[in-house]
A and B are shown apart, each in its own frame.
Chain A
Amino acid sequence: GNSVTQMEGPVTLSEEAFLTINCTYTATGYPSLFWYVQYPGEGLQLLLKATKADDKGSNKGFEATYRKETTSFHLEKGSVQVSDSAVYFCALRRAAGNKLTFGGGTRVLVKP
């Protein structure tokens, strides 16, 4: 079946540090890939997405590239801020309209 594996947190960083969160997936066919972010006490917000191999999703300084050869979709940000403290979820969707399969989430804490 489909599955998503993320690096375990928490990840603790200082402000302006470089952030990488690893995400790998297992799926048949060509899934779409997503990163969602969840701030404390809130629901999930879409951060970025990529729908085919070699696509790069980007938003708010975050980037992730769909790597089919390594079945990965790692999230990166060059310079984090305290406001980036949140839980980040990698997810895949196997076909349009299909369900989202999420990883376990990675908590990121950015200290001033």
Chain B
Amino acid sequence: EPEVTQTPSHQVTQMGQEVILRCVPISNHLYFYWYRQILGQKVEFLVSFYNNEISEKSEIFDDQFSVERPDGSNFTLKIRSTKLEDSAMYFCASRPGQANEKLFFGSGTQLSVL
């Protein structure tokens, strides 16, 4: 079965540094998402992406965050200047199309900001 893949699985960075989290959604999927989960807390929505633009974003997704689909396969989340509170597990997900609500998740990137 096709899977969403995420790299790296773990990322350690210094506060203030930029990080890019990478995702390869399932190839025929049209909708892409980033969620995050701070340890012990809820899985929180960050942003959704469709047709090469952001379709919706949460209040967490401020100017420090950006997403990009640089080619036909990759979907990236960039954090420009990381803060300690950005430490979390970041999940990428994709969805086939309008009538299918099922999300397919990647295995996550654990980001640690020191």
Q: Judge: A and B partners, yes or no.
A: no
